Amino acid sequence: MLGKDYRGQDCSIARALEVIGERWTPLIVRDAFYGVRRFGEFQTHLDIPKAVLSDRLNGLVQDGILARTADPEHAGRHLYELTPAGRELWPVLYGLLVWGGRHRAENSRIFRHSACATVLDDRGWCPVCGVIPGPEDVVSEPRPGHERLRTDPVSLALAAPRRLLEPLMV
Amino acid sequence: MLGKDYRGQDCSIARALEVIGERWTPLIVRDAFYGVRRFGEFQTHLDIPKAVLSDRLNGLVQDGILARTADPEHAGRHLYELTPAGRELWPVLYGLLVWGGRHRAENSRIFRHSACATVLDDRGWCPVCGVIPGPEDVVSEPRPGHERLRTDPVSLALAAPRRLLEPLMV
């Protein structure tokens, strides 16, 4: 099995990949930006084996990307939330999203600056306000005309425009 | 073995990860930005098994990220060069580099706008010219005071300031 470290590489790209380079990890972090907070919600949206999800969530907690707290509504379960360091991964995810949208298939969602509702450009820049808003000031909604392919509860909850990082109620 | 696709995910982040999500692939693309073009140069800089490097290079060629051409100086060998689509991955790599540099260990290199020699900020923005230069207008050099940990020929060639994408002569 391949490890997840890049010990011989003196490069902060390698250091970042040690944190979010594993298969599925970037999509788990994406879902956390969309407000997903519970194990079962990640699972229904990602369709991955519980063991993989559990391994990745534990790694993200250990690496300081997600904070794990007790779920007040479900004894014995947890909530996962992006830490400040985790929130700073937004430019990486947005960069992947833009690249995939330009070169593979348009993204299923669009992203607006919450202050003025302007759609952000490929650099995440709001041309009206002249800023690159942080994820807490970005509203995401399904792209008009994009056929919805998934009908799991998280995908349905994401059908309405939502501010990033706002906890999802499924 | 885990696959590299994310078929059930209707999201352009997933599409991008199908291209550069595998272990080592982002570091191979990084090296291509640094001007690495030959199999042996990638190998000496990355210290990875030939079979892994060969698999990743083939995948990147197939996915339209790298173009493979005959090496005029070595019969039977190849040169690899980023395509226009591959060059558009720069914001993703720069985002990883910035995140790793802020939260793990400072990057071993710094990045300047070639037009004015100003160091780029965390968004890749040149505050003097008011632009986010493309990688072809970025000069990279070792960070002053950063101890060099690697002594392979590629690392030594990268000791001088170099414009990104300019072919490395090792």
pLDDT tens digits, one per residue of A120-148: 999 999 999 999 999 999 999 999 998 88
Regarding whether A50 and A21 lie in a shared domain, the answer is yes
Note the pLDDT of residue B2: 57
pLDDT at B129 over 80: yes
Are both B122 and B98 inside the same structural domain?
Answer: yes
pTM of the model: 0.96
Chain B residues close to A152, C-beta within 8 Å? none
Handedness of CA B36, B39, B45, B46 (dihedral sign): positive
User: How many domains would you assign to chain A?
Assistant: 2
- Residues B66 and B132 both lie in one domain: no
Closest CA to B45 of B162, B136, B157: B157
Q: Which two tokens stand for residue A142?
A: 């399904």
pLDDT band at A98 (very low <50, low <70, confident <90, very high): very high
* Domain co-membership, B76 together with B121: no
Q: Are residues A126 and A152 located together in one domain of the fold?
A: yes
pLDDT at B1: 45
Q: Which ipTM value was assigned to this complex?
A: 0.95
Work out the minimum CA distance from B55 to partner chain A, whole angstroms.
Answer: 14
For B:118-137, CB contacts with A below 8 A are: 123, 132
In this complex, which of A8, A15, A94 lies closest to B104 when CB atoms are compared?
A15
Domain of residue A20, CATH code: 1.10.10.10
C-alpha span between B111 and A47 (Å, rounded): 40
> Cα separation of B107 and B4, whole Å?
28
B67 and B133 both lie in a single domain: no
Q: B36 — contact with chain A (CB < 8 Å)?
A: no
Residue B83 in contact with residue B61, Cβ under 8 Å?
A: no
Tell if the CB–CB gap between B11 and A104 is shorter than 8 Å.
Answer: no
The per-residue pLDDT for A64 is: 98
Rounded Cα distance, B147 and B159, in Å: 11
Tell whether the model's pLDDT for residue A113 goes beyond 90: yes
Whether A38 and A97 map to the same domain: the answer is: no
* B76 and B117 belong to one structural domain: no
Q: DSSP of A36-90, one letter per residue?
A: --SHHHHHHHH---HHHHHHHHHHHHHTTSEEEEE-TTSTT-EEEEE-HHHHTTH
Question: Stretch A97-102: mean pLDDT, rounded?
Answer: 97
- Residue B3 within a domain: no
**Is the model more confident about B170 or about A66?**
A66
Q: How would you label A54-79 residue by residue, b for 16+ Cβ within 10 Å and e otherwise?
A: eebbebbeebebbeeeeeeeeeeebb
Residues B94 and B64 in one domain: no
A91 contacts in chain B (CB < 8 Å): 91, 95, 98-99, 123
Q: Domain range for residue A22?
A: 12-86
Q: What integer pLDDT is reported at residue A1 of this predicted model?
A: 45
Structure tokens at B151: 């002594």
Q: CB–CB of A100 and B12 under 8 A?
A: yes
- pLDDT tens by residue, B3-62: 789 999 999 999 999 999 999 999 999 999 999 999 999 999 999 999 999 999 999 999
Q: Is B60 exposed, middle or buried (0-12, 13-18, 19+ CB in 10 A)?
A: buried
A98/B95 Cβ within 8 A:
no
Let me know whether B56 and B99 are in one domain.
Answer: no
B64 touches chain A (CB under 8 A): yes
DSSP secondary structure string, B72-88?
Answer: TTSTT-EEEEE-HHHHT
